[in-house]
């Protein structure tokens, strides 16, 4: 029997197992910084699946190992989720983990605990097949991505010195093979004014008016940003404005304008700041904020809120291996694409240049939305894909 047929049969046999594991972890709320209980549940699932080794790193990421080859393949899922929003918009309770109508329902089922559940099954499949190839396969269940994408991986790479050769991101792709996405950064612009009584505004220098004028300039800047054939157009948008004044009857002497900047190929932190400076002039202070927050383990690992763009060509060995794994398993060509949003790839590929692709169950349109649900069919196919990939990589990467 061919390896792809064996893997497909095992993925089908464990279809309900995968769905039930996902249901269990969806039932555990895990906002960024509060992931401890779901990490413990996933650790239990990985151990029960027979992983060779399972441990929690200094930040709080869970890492499981299968195999002992000289090369490292990491398959990643962040397991924190966003909040629920307006509960009246949910058909079923968001943390029900309900299995119904061929779907697993609940917050995080798409973004992205579905990937995590499929990874557990993939590890079990590899163990049952007795995988002893050229890869050590690491399954990483990472934290705080929703709060600061990539920070968990910066910690693993820079503090734990964990540097894989290849990475698969299991963010939702609707079972497409993704090869990149735009980067992003956050920018604060600080405008200073002069306070005066609001009954005589001409005596002061209104910081809100300065920020408002700049916001209109930013809207014009957006229109002329760079376009990449694959990743699309860069974007910039004011998202927060905050002012400070001695009273509501006084001219504000400070105003902060917050920008969300999406970076296409060829755009960097430096080019983005230069463009904003051209709009606002030399006077305002422009700041890229620093992320600082304790993990559930009490560890702080700070980083600048700059998340670089990344992409790999369609003929890259990892992209080709992903496409071939899909075709051999499912008998059709893989859809090659990109995410609209940002992932842990900003650290893995964007900052550190480690080759990465995406393949995940669920449709990204349901990420962060009410009535989030993932098809069990997707979970089964994703678990087969993750188990198949190391076999295909060994064939594609010659001379190892």
Distance CA 170, CA 156 (A): 18
Nearest to 253 by CA among 329, 197, 305: 197
- Could you tell me if 155 and 294 are in contact, meaning their C-beta atoms sit under 8 angstroms apart? no
DSSP single-letter state for residue 88: G
DSSP single-letter state for residue 229: T
Looking from the CA of 41 toward its CB, the CA atoms found within 13 Å total 19
Antiparallel, parallel or unpaired: β 71-78 and 166-169: parallel
Residue 30 phi/psi, 5° resolution? -150, 65
Question: C-alpha distances in angstroms, 125 versus 238, 301, 392?
Answer: 47, 35, 15
- Could you tell me if 32 and 80 are in contact, meaning their C-beta atoms sit under 8 angstroms apart? yes
- Could you tell me if 139 and 51 are in contact, meaning their C-beta atoms sit under 8 angstroms apart? yes
Antiparallel, parallel or unpaired: β 183-192 and 135-142: unpaired
Distance CA 93, CA 73 (A): 36
- Could you tell me if 346 and 358 are in contact, meaning their C-beta atoms sit under 8 angstroms apart? no
Q: Which residue has the tokens 């396969």?
A: 137
Q: Which residue has the tokens 């990467």?
A: 397
H or E segment and range at residue 303: strand 303-304
Distance CA 153, CA 374 (A): 25
Q: Which residues pair with 77 in a beta bridge?
A: 141
Which of 57, 76, 111, 145 is catalytic? The answer is 145
Angle value at C-alpha 317, between 384 and 112, nearest 5 degrees = 40
Which of 80, 111, 146, 228 is catalytic? The answer is 80
Any catalytic annotation for residue 80? yes
Catalytic residue numbers?
80, 145
């Amino acid at each position: 029997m061919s390896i792809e047929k064996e893997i497909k049969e095992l993925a089908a046999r464990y279809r309900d197992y995968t769905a039930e594991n996902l249901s269990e972890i969806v039932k555990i709320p895990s906002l960024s910084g509060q992931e401890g209980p779901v990490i413990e549940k996933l650790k239990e699932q990985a151990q029960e699946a027979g992983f060779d080794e399972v441990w929690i790193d200094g930040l709080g990421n869970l890492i499981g190992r299968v195999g002992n080859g000289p090369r490292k393949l990491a398959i990643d899922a962040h397991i924190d989720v966003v909040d629920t929003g307006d509960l009246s918009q949910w058909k079923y309770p968001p943390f029900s983990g309900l299995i119904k109508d061929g779907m697993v329902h609940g917050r995080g089922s798409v973004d992205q605990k579905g990937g995590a559940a499929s990874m557990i099954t993939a590890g079990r499949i590899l163990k049952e097949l007795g995988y002893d190839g050229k890869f050590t396969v690491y399954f990483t269940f990472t934290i705080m991505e929703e709060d600061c994408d990539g920070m968990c991986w910066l910690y693993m790479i820079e503090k734990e010195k964990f540097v894989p050769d290849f990475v698969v991101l299991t963010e939702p792709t609707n079972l497409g093979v993704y090869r990149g996405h735009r980067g992003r950064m956050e920018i604060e612009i600080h405008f200073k004014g002069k306070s005066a009584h609001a009954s005589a505004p001409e005596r002061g220098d209104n910081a809100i008016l300065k920020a408002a004028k700049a916001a209109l300039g930013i809207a014009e800047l957006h229109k002329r940003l760079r376009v990449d054939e694959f990743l699309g157009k860069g974007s910039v948008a004011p998202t927060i404005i905050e002012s400070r004044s001695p009273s509501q009857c006084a001219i504000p002497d400070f105003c902060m304008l917050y920008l969300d900047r999406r970076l296409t190929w060829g755009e960097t932190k430096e080019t983005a700041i230069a463009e904003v400076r051209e709009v606002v002039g030399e006077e305002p202070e422009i700041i890229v904020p620093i992320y600082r927050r304790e993990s559930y383990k009490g560890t702080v690992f700070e980083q600048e809120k700059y998340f670089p763009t990344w992409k790999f060509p369609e003929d890259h060995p990892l992209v080709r291996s992903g496409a071939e794994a899909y075709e051999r398993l499912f008998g059709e060509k893989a859809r090659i694409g990109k995410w609209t949003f940002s992932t842990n790839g900003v650290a893995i590929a964007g900052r550190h240049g480690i080759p990465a692709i995406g393949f995940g169950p669920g449709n990204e349109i349901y990420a962060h939305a009410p009535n989030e649900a993932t098809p069990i069919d997707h979970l089964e196919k994703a678990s087969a894909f993750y188990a198949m990939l190391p076999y295909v990589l060994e064939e594609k990467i010659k001379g190892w």
